[in-house]
Chains A and B, each alone.
Chain A
Amino acid sequence: KAGVTQTPRYLIKTRGQQVTLSCSPISGHRSVSWYQQTPGQGLQFLFEYFSETQRNKGNFPGRFSGRQFSNSRSEMNVSTLELGDSALYLCASSFKRGRETQYFGPGTRLLVL
């Protein structure tokens, strides 16, 4: 079974632009979560989607948003990029909700100049 895939793997943007990252979960998995990883703040939870609905949200500004499609694929969007948004964005999927084991993708590395 194929693992979690994320596209693109690397991205360079400039301040003020917006970016969309994509995540395809493991086949059959319906929950997708997003995390931001930075050297300073570590791994932080962004949000979780299940059955096309956002179920949980971390402490990030409204510039960070996401959605999930009927095939469970998910996208996250960051508008008006700031230098501090440079990070590795990780997507994780699981079969259902409720403290399930989450399987992580390789991440998208975003650099904001």
Chain B
Amino acid sequence: AQSVTQLGSHVSVSEGALVLLRCNYSSSVPPYLFWYVQYPNQGLQLLLKYTSAATLVKGINGFEAEFKKSETSFHLTKPSAHMSDAAEYFCAVSEEAAGNKLTFGGGTRVLVKP
């Protein structure tokens, strides 16, 4: 069964600093990969999606992620953190045989310090 690991359940960054959230997946076939963000008391909002078209994927709000097959990783970055980036971030994977089923990582909560 496929799995997703997010290293670090909590990350604290200073406003203006780099945000780096790590995601590693296990999949025997090329997966589709997603990053979602969840603000308090809200559902999940899609940040970006990897579909094998390009290894560097740009998303909303200045986020981007790079797919590295050799490392089975899909880390999320943002060059300069903003207070509004404080939220929980989830990496997810889907495989072709699973239809629309998403398998999520445990999530990383980001705290932005002024």
Taking beta carbons and an 8 Å cutoff, which residues of A are in contact with B? 4, 31, 33, 35, 42-45, 48, 50, 55-56, 58, 90, 92, 94, 97-107
Interface residues of B in 1-48 (CB under 8 A from A): 32, 34, 36, 41-46
B61 contacts the other chain (CB 8 A): no
Among residues of B, the one whose C-beta sits closest to the C-beta of A100 is: B100
Can you name 10 extra interface pairs (CB under 8 A) apart from A4-B43, A31-B100, A43-B90?
A33-B102, A42-B106, A48-B100, A48-B101, A55-B99, A98-B96, A98-B99, A99-B95, A104-B44, A107-B43
Q: Please count how many residues in chain B sit with their CB below 8 Å of the partner chain's CB atoms.
A: 26
CB distance A43 to B94 under 8 Å? Answer: no
- Chain B residues positioned under 8 Å from A98 (CB to CB): 96, 99-100
- Chain B residues positioned under 8 Å from A100 (CB to CB): 100
- Chain A residues positioned under 8 Å from B103 (CB to CB): 45
CB distance B44 to A94 under 8 Å? Answer: no
Q: Return A56 CB to nearest CB of chain B, in Å.
A: 5
CA A55 – CA B106 in complex, angstroms?
A: 25
CA A37 – CA B99 in complex, angstroms?
A: 20
With A90-B43, A90-B44 in contact, is A99–B100 under 8 Å at CB? yes
CB distance A45 to B46 under 8 Å? Answer: no
CB distance B43 to A42 under 8 Å? Answer: no
